[in-house]
Chain A
Amino acid sequence: MADVAISPPAVHRPVTTEPRAARIVLIAVAVLFLAFFLLLPLVVVFVEALGAGIGTYWKALVDKDALAAIRLTLLVAAIAVPANLVFGVAASWLIAKFEFRGKSVLTTLIDLPFSVSPVTSGLIYVLVFGAQGLLGPWLAAHGVKIIFAVPGIVLATIFVTFPFVARELIPIMQDQGTEDEEAAASLGAHGLTTFFRVTLPNIKWALLYGVLLCNARAMGEFGAVSVVSGKIRGQTNTMPLQVEILYNEYSYVAAFAVASLLALLALVTLAVKSFLEWRYAGELAAQRRH
């Protein structure tokens, strides 16, 4: 198996690794921690979902409202992720390639949505677009629906997934410095050409990883979406909201079935990422040496 890390297997360099006993203890700590905090909740989801047999599981998934929720979730992610992708690339270019005043404030502002409670994220859009909000009366007069409709859900999702791509790209692009781009620019390359030919090949893995995470979070967001959704069955319920609704209807199996789809999605995301890392390990290692 090809590995990502640069350091060759530990046996060859005893001076730069820990004693065997320490390694075992550390591995045990890591494995136990992850098993307890991450694996166990995941197992619960699948055990509960399949507890009543595969037939019940399948029935829960092809339910009309569940399918509507799946469609809506896909739609929302299909809008929110590309939007944040473009933003993330632009923001990281700006922050990594230029020195300007207020940069650290800008970086903090980009991180800000991470620290805004999902509840608040929903609330702010209600304050702007709600019937009692700043733009509410104007929107109502023109028949534009944002809150309690798809646009509101998309906006709230964009907000909560805002920093993901930028967060992944900024450190990588900072590490790579500006020499390559400066060289390209002084040779007269066009800005976009420079980006696609010089920068993109260096950042594509981070970019992909950012997109995967952004997508996973976009599909899984609960708090913010629940404030702006209105919870109309079959219309404005995303998958996480559908999970809550089913749970509240004492349909625990169905709730966990939909939840398991989301968990499955999480696993597929992670599998894709791991596969790509494995497939292109050589390239990645070379890139890290820059």
Chain B
Amino acid sequence: MAGAPSLALRKPSVIPGFGLTLGFVLTYLGLVVLIPLAALVLKTAGLGWSGFLAIASDERTIAALWLSFSLSLVAAAINAVFGLVIAWVLVRYRFPGRRILDAMVDLPFALPTAVAGIALTALYAPNGWVGQYLEPLGIKVAYTPLGILVALVFIGIPFVVRTVQPVIEDLDSEVQEAAATLGATRLDTLARIVLPTLIPALLTGFALALARAVGEYGSVIFIAGNIPYVSEIAPLLIVVKLTEYNYAGATAIATLMLLISFALLLAINLLQAWSRRGFDRG
């Protein structure tokens, strides 16, 4: 769909391998991702519309989905802001310990989520290293939605940093210099020239962090209070339904999450394609 609309399947190209890679990619994607996901949809379809709607409109389902998606959006937004700052600092400034900091960013990718959950709970529980100082201030983190937010910020931060970083590295300093020579203040240059260039990458990072946060289970489960309607995330509700042998209910919620995520991702991908065209090539 990208590029000029045309009736042909693809634009002609002399580069070989289109058929081969398309075939392989679709087969692999189909076997590993699409067919199993189709089983999910199939199982949900077994419920019929009314059954699906009954689960989808259940107050508890809505509360859990709302919690998951709203906290994920907030976490992704926090990550977008701080991720941008971190990426900027790591690329543009030289200071002692920069490399260590740079390496550390990937930690949430590599640290198992269950370990992260246990470690974060140990930190933010009222008797934990951080929690004991927050408790007298009346701030409760562990076992509240705030705790979930902390976990989601933790797992999402590398997505933003790593997608924005290469773009900052490639920033064209000539344009900035030109702007500065023409009398633009640094803030102006940043807002008018630098930021727009970063937006597509920032959006990608935001989308990835969001998508990852929505489904997160391992790290959240330890630090959330898991109280229905208050701190019960959607993936936990799936697990609850599963232990009740309620496959239909579990798959219905999973399908709902999938639909919302897919819609969000697609929207962000399109937004990104649009902004890339607008700023880069335009």
Please indicate the chain A residues that have their CB under 8 angstroms from the CB of B39 in the complex.
124, 127-128, 133-134
Complex partner residue of A94 from B18, B101, B107, CB under 8 angstroms: B18
Given contacts A37-B157, A220-B111, A262-B112, contact A16 B176 (CB under 8 A): yes
Is A273 located at the chain interface by the 8 A CB criterion?
A: yes
Given contacts A103-B1, A103-B2, A288-B169, contact A159 B33 (CB under 8 A): yes
Question: In the complex, A93 Cα to B25 Cα: how many Å?
Answer: 10
Is A222 located at the chain interface by the 8 A CB criterion?
A: yes
In the assembled complex, the CB of B258 is this many whole angstroms from the nearest CB of chain A, namely: 6
Complex partner residue of B86 from A30, A243, A266, CB under 8 angstroms: A30
Question: A111–B208 contact, CB under 8 A?
Answer: yes
Number of interface residues of A (CB under 8 A): 113
Given contacts A213-B106, A266-B107, contact A100 B186 (CB under 8 A): no
Is B225 located at the chain interface by the 8 A CB criterion?
A: no
Please indicate the chain A residues that have their CB under 8 angstroms from the CB of B232 in the complex.
none
Question: In the complex, A29 Cα to B81 Cα: how many Å?
Answer: 11
Please indicate the chain A residues that have their CB under 8 angstroms from the CB of B108 in the complex.
38
Q: 8 Å CB contacts to B: which residues of A244-275?
A: 244, 247, 255-256, 259, 262-263, 265-267, 269-271, 273-274
| Interface of chain B: mostly helix, strand, loop or mixed | helix
Please indicate the chain A residues that have their CB under 8 angstroms from the CB of B82 in the complex.
29-30, 33
Complex partner residue of A113 from B10, B33, B118, B190, CB under 8 angstroms: B33
Is B45 located at the chain interface by the 8 A CB criterion?
A: no
In the assembled complex, the CB of A100 is this many whole angstroms from the nearest CB of chain B, namely: 3
Please indicate the chain B residues that have their CB under 8 angstroms from the CB of A216 in the complex.
106, 109-110
In the assembled complex, the CB of B214 is this many whole angstroms from the nearest CB of chain A, namely: 6
Question: B113–A6 contact, CB under 8 A?
Answer: no
Number of interface residues of B (CB under 8 A): 112
Question: A16–B88 contact, CB under 8 A?
Answer: no
In the assembled complex, the CB of B151 is this many whole angstroms from the nearest CB of chain A, namely: 10
Complex partner residue of A40 from B130, B238, B247, CB under 8 angstroms: B130
In the assembled complex, the CB of A211 is this many whole angstroms from the nearest CB of chain B, namely: 12
In the assembled complex, the CB of A122 is this many whole angstroms from the nearest CB of chain B, namely: 9
Type the 1/0 row for B199-232, where 1 means its CB is closer than 8 Å to any CB of A: 0000000011011101111100000000000000
In the assembled complex, the CB of A276 is this many whole angstroms from the nearest CB of chain B, namely: 12
Please indicate the chain B residues that have their CB under 8 angstroms from the CB of A94 in the complex.
17-18, 21-22, 25
Question: B103–A273 contact, CB under 8 A?
Answer: yes
Complex partner residue of A124 from B15, B40, B122, B242, CB under 8 angstroms: B40
Known: A30-B101, A195-B17. 5 other contacts (CB 8 A): A7-B92, A15-B176, A29-B82, A99-B11, A101-B1
- Interface residues in chain B, defined as those with a beta carbon under 8 Å from any beta carbon in chain A: 1-3, 6, 9-11, 13-18, 20-22, 24-25, 28-29, 32-37, 39-40, 42-43, 82, 85-86, 88-95, 97, 99, 101-116, 118-120, 122-123, 129-130, 150, 153-154, 157, 163, 166, 169-171, 173, 176-177, 180-181, 186, 189-190, 207-208, 210-212, 214-218, 234-235, 238-239, 242, 247, 250-251, 254, 257-258, 261-262, 264-266, 269-270, 273
